[in-house]
Structure 1
């Protein structure tokens, strides 16, 4: 339970929601962000955090997670519940794409068995999700890859479209004939082409000549300088086209109604699958936000505890990062012995930020969001989070700030327990100090008796005393630099803080007589106590700095010791290996010597030498063997051996480098090259530092030298022929031909990106033996069309190319005939 109703806006969680919504891919995920709420269930929180942690690993370690089509088609699905209704083409295409995405996500998460999966929580989420491969196949039988109804979706539709194409071709020929005649008579400009108006093919004519061409005037331009005439010769044919288009639409509706009847019973299961897609979108948004914050899934315990190190306020972290500023992290501990932290210190010293950081991070983690703190932190779970912060003055309810504050305190006292965390800013403020402090102390006593946890900020001395004298309550201070007179935004737990009121008044230039008078009014005891607090804080900061320095030096010594130990172990291992090699070498020498001497003895025996002479030779053999056995492998020999090994390794690397240079010729201007991993061959026309300019026929491009590979002249000549021959005999090519699509859509791509896609496409088309292909580039400025055609001129396998028929796209599509 949280209190009050505007809790989220008070701690800034509404802005966290906005950040998450911005990272969702669809309304599916956005709805889940809005539905996200506070939970005190350890199992649910752990599952939500673990799902997000697993998705963080997917983002950081995987490249193949499907995120293409997070499309919400639930509205369209709910609209087909009534018999006779149908799903339209665009919604059907979106359904197919999103169902494929659901299927791909489930396959990704289940690519390993349950006991081996690296993502067990996401695996469980995907466990019972229904995928619809047969439904996807049925949609593919109806729609093409652009989401249009296929010609063969039904025999009748195929017949209608053939008739439309046939009649349109006749109209086009007639119009072109009429247009050429009009141009020769000077009635129409030379560069004019037939165009469409209200679904009918017409000729643009100047108003002065509109009576020279028999036909129907359908429209005129906005300037009135052009009228659009449908010649009489094609009116009847255009009427037939209109009728056929009506037939076509009715047949399409008939096809969609038949499919919708199949789809309708599956809608409940499909909607359930979209719940899974929504959860994935939501979890992905949480993971991206966590990465942005350097947030983690903390160690979570099913009890009430806060043991946080280097915790950061998320919104403050994002704001500071934009300004290239560092945020001061928070260290805070609240446990059974010290549950209620009373923070004091100067105004603008960070007390409220500290309180909001605790509230926001605790609320985030109990909503299943990773939070930014150190990995050795421990986070507990609270059933209730109550907050009292800011100006709650209400004109409508006639409540002052203090009255509103007391209303909150009444609720806190009645409802807090040992599983509640209280966040109270400026406790007791807003009224006369003595009675305000007394009421605050009385409330604090009851909070403590009920075992509540909390972070409470105050300036009241009596509350600081209460914390010193009562178990369960502890003082804390926001540190302040007395010399620079500026806050350090660092929380120190254990001692109360000073308000530094006198010092701040003096810094801003308040007259000394006013300060002296004020000091006399409060009395020397108060002034001295505030001074003692400042001294305690200063001394604590000094010794904390000393301790930190000692820790850093100890850590450095440990690292050096560890490094030396590793080096010694490596040296000892290498020494033993060299000794082993040396002994093996000695044994080989002994074996060779034995063989040689035994051979000598055999020779002597065979030559029937004297026995005494033979005995003498054997004695010399034994002495030689003993001298070898007793030879020691000294450190000097080891050192020499190490040097020899190093020299040998050095020479080996030099040789490999020379060989590599020899194998890969230096690329120079005029050389034939290709980009590594690609097939198109170009010629180097210029080199600037590490970048080369390459001509691929009429097309120029640039690339890094290390991304190019040298191509010999013979390779360049044989390259095209080898592709065609390889296509005729290769099983891979046969399979490629079966799967090859005769259209490519490069609309919306950059020029270089589109050109590379077209190069691959034409290469593949030639390889698989296509006779005709189409490139959809759109009209736009015409730049993309020009780049593609400049390239096509350079390809020897291209027979010719031209615009598509005006009825089917005109200048927005290039049709290529291949040899």
Structure 2
């Protein structure tokens, strides 16, 4: 599918695979990464991409997958297949830990049924066979050693060994103390020689202690003797240990025999862990490069939006270089071939390699750094001619190597072939290389191939402009600042800016003058025209960017206005409802009071004194009702005097509310004010500037509030175990408060794990304007599990 084979290395795909290998936890997973190859089946590519995307979403938004133990158990299972063989204790322990991991993973996805449908396909309905787990747990403990109660006989032998060792030690201590008392011993305590506990005896006294001499010191002055009293006991211990070992072998053999029928299932478990490790590594790499899943097309097309070269992107992140300029490119049935021209070091080759590398990654099931709205089709073949392939062994010159590839391309390419050619036509006399390159391009175009070709040849630019299916494109260049912009623009060819670059480098003027005289008049006109076109395109592009920015600002203002209008309308309706309800209640209470007054007059038979009292009560209720009515007084806002300036740090009073606030930023006719921990935006003519005593009082109140805020402020945030969104929200709240009270730094405890949470937190800190820098905690106190953020 890929020709020649070294194109994989030249496009950077081999390096991508190495970076994914580093993310694997197991050797089996690394072996799977090494076998990654571009696929041509649409459904297979779709499944691989969706699995990587689901695992990436799981890492970012869900609880961590319980993948604590990834052991290479395949060789262990192979060993268990052999009749009569037995697995060692540590081998059973590895199987035990792997089974626990498998079952934890299966339970994890069972609890999230249909949430990750493509990852669930990896399980192939694998059962949880707890009998295997229970059988091993009855024999092997959590340290990987056989349990003393694995069998009754083993327990009895262990007890006998312990009893015999205690008896031997007791007798040995008695003999040692007696020898010390008699002055026969050398300096030192009991020691082990040949696996037996011995007493250090001076050489001249070695005949005085009955026993077996196991060793002597280097000087010959000390003999190490195993006393006769414990010799037989030690032999007994040795025999019991041999017996214990035979019993352990019997138990392990029996356990292996029980395990043997489950060997196929164990292989399936091993395969599951390997696949999970593989997909996990792809997802982790996707997070590093901000990889997304593009749309998959059945047509042979490429539509990349905001695409980046993954290796350049990683390099810029690590070294802190300028951001990589994204690439927007479209290849379809109409514009099948892009002929990219432009200045040297302007990004032509990077553009071509980006297309080729992302296509290989996409067809290999890897997420790529682009917008998810991008669309890529599937190509059966990828042909690339990049760099110099001259060979002394094959007697091939640079140009001969290029022609050999062109021969292959023209013979075997078709409508499902992506062709990538760098510096098309170079390597020989331009007088002949140009026409040959044009002829090859014509043949490839007739074969309906898709591709990206870079060149400096003017005849190819002219041919592309007059040929259907081939589209000119250029890398933009700022000919005033004399630097490339790395922006691809389709539709017009680009100048090589040879004379401009030569002049900027400092080539002597007489050399440039001679060179201009030597080129043809027509060629000079063409190049001048291309330079003018580039300048005009740059102006159009800048104008377009400015218009788009202005449109976004207008839309944002319109949205804000609509929200405010909606808010005011709702408030108005609510006030009307409240007023109507209050009026109804007042009328109801008034009617009730009048009715009660009339009834009282009637019941007192219009007694004058009683009538006077009732009327007084009615008047009193009326007066109270009048007192309750709010006095509607809306003071007209006093506009700020034209000649009175307001600066950052001044104290003002908001006319409508009477609140006092401090000016923290000026924005045209608006003021950004701080009211304690809150921020608000007010028109300049809606405030009054405070002076003298009023300003002093406001400042004093602010300081008291600030001191209280500092007193109860904690500069340490612990977000371990939290989801990414919750963690970032909590950090944002504390950061905002730290900025408001002027706190210099924050300590963020996020833990290590896979590093996902740390990555998102540090990406957020980079974008927070008031964070000047951040760094790891000291390695002894948490290392990269803790981040210190410094606030300017």
Separation in 2 of the partners of 1:181 and 1:119? 76
How far, CA to CA, are the matches of 1:223 and 1:572 in structure 2? Answer: 106
The whole-number CA distance in structure 2 between the counterparts of 1:235 and 1:525 is 110
Question: Which residues of 2 match residues 513-524 of structure 1 at below 5 A?
Answer: 513-524=510-521
| Structure 2 match to 1:467 | 464
Matched, 1:421 2:418: yes
- 2:13 and 2:215 map into 1 onto residues whose CA distance is 58
Cα 1:353/1:225, change in 2 over 3 Å: farther
Could you give the per-residue CA deviations for residues 741-792 of structure 1, whole angstroms, max 9, x where no partner exists?
Answer: xxxxxxxxx9999xxxxxxxxxxxxxxxxxxxxxxxxxxxxxxxxxxxxxxx
- TM alignment of 1:244-393, pairs within 5 A: 244-326=240-322, 327-393=324-390
Q: In the aligned structure 2, how far is the partner of 1:310 from the partner of 1:126?
A: 35
Taking structure 1 as reference, are residues 325 and 210 closer, same or farther at Cα in structure 2, changes over 3 Å only? farther
1:118 counterpart residue number: 115
Gaps in structure 1 of 5+ consecutive residues? 645-649, 654-664, 668-674, 676-703, 708-749, 754-819
Question: Equivalent residue of 1:544, what SS?
Answer: helix
Equivalent positions of 1:553-702 (< 5 A) are: 553-609=550-606
The yes-or-no answer on 1:166 pairing with 2:163 is: yes
**Residue 71 in structure 1 maps to residue 71 in structure 2:** yes
Tell me which moved more, 228-237 or 553-562.
228-237
Post-superposition offset of 1:300: 2.2
- RMSD, matched Cα: 4.1
1:401 aligns with 2:398: yes
Structure 1 residue 294: deviation in Å? 1.1
Post-superposition CA distance 1:648-704 (Å, at most 9, x none): xx9xx9xxxxxxxxxxx999xxxxxxx9xxxxxxxxxxxxxxxxxxxxxxxxxxxx9
In structure 1, C-alpha distance between the alignment counterparts of 2:181 and 2:712, rounded to whole Å: 61
**d(CA) in 2 for partners of 1:554 and 1:189?**
97
Contact between 2:425 and 2:437, CA under 8 Å: does it hold in 1? yes
1: distance between equivalents of 2:222 and 2:9?
Answer: 61
Unaligned runs of 5+ in 2: 637-655, 659-674, 679-710, 719-745, 750-778, 783-792
Cα distance between partner residues in 2 of 1:26 and 1:210: 58
1:120-135 equivalent positions in 2, closer than 5 A: 120-135=117-132
Moved more, 87-96 or 490-499: 490-499
1:22 alignment counterpart: 22
Q: In the alignment, is the contact (CA less than 8 A) between 1:99 and 1:131 conserved in 2?
A: no
Shift of residue 82 of structure 1? 2.2
Residue of 138, 144, 148 corresponding to 1:151: 148
Q: Distance in 2 between matches of 1:224 and 1:414?
A: 88
Paired residue secondary structure (1:261): helix
Task: Measure, in 2, the Cα distance between the counterparts of 1:245 and 1:198.
Answer: 16
- 8 Å CA contact 2:473–2:492 kept in 1: the answer is yes
Distance in 1 (alpha carbons) for counterparts of 2:635 and 2:164: 94
* Whole-angstrom CA distance in 2 between matches of 1:563 and 1:58: 35
Using structure 2 for the length normalisation, give the TM-score: 0.75
Partner of 1:490: 487
Change beyond 3 A, Cα 1:32–1:705: closer
| Residue aligning to 1:88 | 88
The question of whether the paired residues in 2 share the 8 Å contact of 1:77 and 1:87 is answered with: no
Deviates more, 1:144-153 or 1:594-603: 594-603
1:61 is aligned to 61
Distance in 1 between residues matched to 2:569 and 2:201, nearest whole Å: 96
Contact 1:130-1:270 at 8 Å conserved across structures: no
Tell me what 1:671 maps to. none
Equivalent-residue separation in structure 2 for 1:503 and 1:706 (angstroms): 51
- How many equivalent residue pairs? 657
CA contact (8 A) 2:343 2:496 kept: yes
The higher relative CO (CA closer than 8 Å, separation ≥ 6) is in: 2
How far apart in 1 are the matches of 2:289 and 2:37?
A: 20
In the TM superposition, residue 6 of structure 1 has moved relative to its aligned partner by 2.1
| Matched residue, 1:241 | 237
**1:333 aligns to what SS in structure 2?**
strand
User: What's the offset of the Cα at 1:507?
Assistant: 3.0
Q: Is the 8 A contact 1:578 1:638 kept in 2?
A: no
| Deviation of the 1:221 alpha carbon | 8.6
In the alignment, structure 1 residue 530 sits paired with structure 2 residue 527: yes
Q: 1:200 aligns with which of 196, 199, 219?
A: 196
Q: How far apart, in 1, do the equivalents of 2:336 and 2:222 lie?
A: 84
| Residues 87, 257 of structure 1: 8 Å contact kept | yes
Query: How much has 1:207 moved relative to structure 2?
Result: 8.1
